[in-house]
Structures are given as C-alpha cells and as structure tokens.
Amino acid sequence: MIDVDKCKITYYPATVLRGRAAPVEKIDDNIRRLVDKMADILVDKKGIGLAAPQAGVPLRLFIVALSGKREDVRAYINPTVTPHGDLDEAEEGCLSVPGIWAKIRRYKKATVTATDLDGRQFTEDAEGLYARCLQHEYDHIEGTVIVNRMGEAARIAHRRQLKKLADDLEGK
Ligand SMILES: [Zn+2]
C-alpha cells in the first residue's frame, strides 16, 4: 500500500531514481490515487512526463501529457518502450534533475505497449517529442536518468549543479 499523501518529487541522486522499478501487480484505487498525485506534481512543476520513481514510488508506471495540461495526462502501466529509426540529439531536462539541460541522443521513433488505468492494454507508435518523452520516462523505471546519458563534457560543464544536488540530498 502506497501512502500517496506522502508522495513528492524526488531529486537525483536519490536511491529510488537509480534502481529498476517493480511491476504494478494490480490496478486498484491506490494506483489510481498515485496517478492523480503524479498528475498534480507534473502540472505543478510544468513537466510533460513523470515516472513513479520520481514521486518516490519504485513501480513500473509513468504518465505523459505533452501539453502539460491535466486533462491530457495519460497513464502507462507496466510499459515496454521499443525505440527505432534514426538517432537524434536534442536538449533535454528532467524534473528530478533541476537546473540541468543537456543534449541527449534518442531514437526518433518508439513503439509503446502498456496498460491503462482501466486495465486495457494498448500499443502506440510515437515520433518526435512524444517518442523522446517515452524513452526518457522508460529510462526512469529502469533506473536511468539524463545524467547517465550525458556526455563527459556535459557532466563536467554541469559539475557544480550535480554537486549541489548531491549536497542537497545529504542535507548539507
Ligand atoms: Zn525525468
């Protein structure tokens, strides 16, 4: 049972962001409340995607709303994301890694299969920003964040902010 009231945004390098998340066993009211809470965080922080580990919950679940609007929030439960096509590099940020934007290489297209909140499985082909967002969120449930995908030069360029995030987590 997840204490949804206690869920809040987690910041890198929190442990929950660095492990592989577990499958959602059952889509019940607790999961629906979690998705609601995640939507609150997404809209509040002006994001376009949020994975459960970013709310402190190590489950294979993420939400996407490319418009940033609450009514466009969709849930992807136990998803698989298969990237394909050419690679593309674009600036990317992450709500859990504030203050850092870095060029991240992703595939231009992706196919997602997931279960929705009503327990129905769906498959979609995505490209552009949607494909990038799906790959970013899928990374989260696999324990990968943009810091792991940044080049060495970007990591050096952002070293102060990375140190600050680590210090903040330790309460320094
Ligand atoms: Zn992120």
Domain parsing of the chain, residue ranges: 4-86+109-144
- CATH of 4-86+109-144 among 3.90.45.10, 3.30.420.40, 3.30.565.10, 3.30.750.210: 3.90.45.10
Q: What is the pLDDT of residue 172?
A: 75
Q: What is the pLDDT along the chain (172 residues), one digit of tens a residue?
A: 899 999 999 999 999 999 999 999 999 999 999 999 999 999 999 999 999 999 999 999 999 999 999 999 999 999 999 999 999 999 999 999 999 999 999 999 999 999 999 999 999 999 999 999 999 999 999 999 999 999 999 999 999 999 999 999 998 7
* Distance (Å) from CA 97 to ligand 1 centroid: 7
User: 25 pairs with which residues across the strands?
Assistant: none
* Distance (Å) from CA 118 to ligand 1 centroid: 25
Q: Pick the catalytic residue from 137, 142, 152, 170.
A: 137
* Distance (Å) from CA 23 to ligand 1 centroid: 19
List Cα–Cα distances, 86 to 83, 110, 127, in angstroms: 9, 11, 11
* 128 touches 84 (CB < 8 A): no
* 65 touches 86 (CB < 8 A): no
Residue whose C-alpha is closest to residue 26's, from 53, 65, 61, 55: 61
Q: What is the pLDDT of residue 5?
A: 93
Residue 137 annotated to the active site: yes
